[in-house]
A and B are shown apart, each in its own frame.
Chain A
Amino acid sequence: QVQLVESGGGLVKPGGSLRLSCAASGFTFSDYYMSWIRQAPGKGLEWVSYISSSGSTIYYADSVKGRFTISRDNAKNSLYLQMNSLRAEDTAVYYCAAQLWLLPCVYWGQGTLVTVSS
């Protein structure tokens, strides 16, 4: 069955860094476009970043541009999010999600919690 499993979350101080990973299985990862979407505690959903199936096209939300870097390794069926210069407002559950061309997110991981606090 389809699985997306995020890891790498945790507690980090403001200004610190974390690298999130998302391991995919049960579908052809290289056919799918991938996004990171986050949800602050008790709040709604916010799209963070996108990477095309080949990794050649990348987009970021303005709130994370210049601080976060998305990447993928199709040979390892994995998606990554390098998060630098973290701020308190980055505290959220981070979900990886899979999309097909011009369609919404059909597969979601269970999320990993990132807490930025001193």
Chain B
Amino acid sequence: EIVMTQSPATLSVSPGERATLSCRASQSVSSNLAWYQQKPGQAPRLLIYGASTRATGIPARFSGSGSGTEFTLTISSLQSEDFAVYYCQQYNNWPVLTFGGGTKVEIK
């Protein structure tokens, strides 16, 4: 089983600042890595797939990078609506999916 580890667990950021979230896989997942955003009481929303491709309708301030075992989600300038929990997910073992534990981005 591929284990996904996200860091940090909580990230405190001021609006307008840059946020950098990390995700590590226990073994290579190539570029088969997605990022989701989840707000309280809502379903997750796909942000990034293929490690760096934005999903439909996702603003350009969200960007993803990495391959193999190390991945990063960057939010270039945090807006109020971006404060949420972010999950990475590997789908290299598709259709068996594995999620990271999440990073909560909170207002500093």
On A, residues with C-beta under 8 Å from B are 33, 35, 37, 44-47, 50, 52, 59, 61, 95, 99, 102-106, 108-111
Main DSSP-derived SS at the A contact region: strand
Q: Which residues of B contact A (CB under 8 A)?
A: 32, 34, 36, 42-46, 49, 55, 87, 89, 91, 94-102
CB-nearest residue of chain A to B97? A47
CA distance A89 to B42 in the complex (A): 21
**Contact between A105 and B100, CB atoms less than 8 A apart:** no
Q: What distance in Å separates the Cβ of A101 from its nearest Cβ neighbour in chain B?
A: 8
From A46, which residue of chain B is reached at the shortest CB distance?
B99
The answer to whether B34 touches A104, judged by C-beta atoms less than 8 angstroms apart, is yes
| Bound form: Cα–Cα A52–B36 in Å | 22
> In angstroms, how far is the closest chain B Cβ from the Cβ of A79?
14
Alpha-carbon distance A100/B96, docked complex (angstroms): 13
